[in-house]
Amino acid sequence: MQELPERYFTNKKKVLRLGQLLKELFPKKSLIDKNCQKVMSVWSEVVGDEIYKSTKITGIKNGIMYVKVESSTMIHYLTNFEKHTIIHKINNVLGMKYIEDIRFMAGVT
């Protein structure tokens, strides 16, 4: 069996964790794709200035958008009265069904 070149080993005497090696070999891709960037850029237009000031999009994963909101009262309002309208507006802007659900959570914006 042929040995690997020296460059593949950072330090033969030091034990390296498998997780660390995998992180170095396969760096994470950017979590923000073009559609996510577009959603973030039009967020203020979709929800309006008042809601925009008290919310912050924290990410989008598997069609679910995660949004931090300043107060539980605002979470209740958005969840019960605005959620489906927001989803519809965002998907219209993108021209496809990108957002399936929104999860609002309390947090500092």
Domains and CATH numbers, the chain: 34-106 (3.30.300.180)
Q: How far apart are CA 39 and CA 99, in angstroms?
A: 10
DSSP single-letter state for residue 31 = S
Q: Cα angle at 23 between 14 and 31, to 5 degrees? A: 160
pTM across the whole model: 0.70
Quick one: tokens of 91? 């998907």
- pLDDT digits 0-9 by tens, 71-103: 999 999 999 999 999 999 999 999 999 999 999
- pLDDT digits 0-9 by tens, 12-69: 666 667 777 677 777 665 545 788 889 999 999 999 999 999 999 999 999 999 999 9
Q: Which of 84, 79, 109, 92 is nearest to 42 (CA)?
A: 92
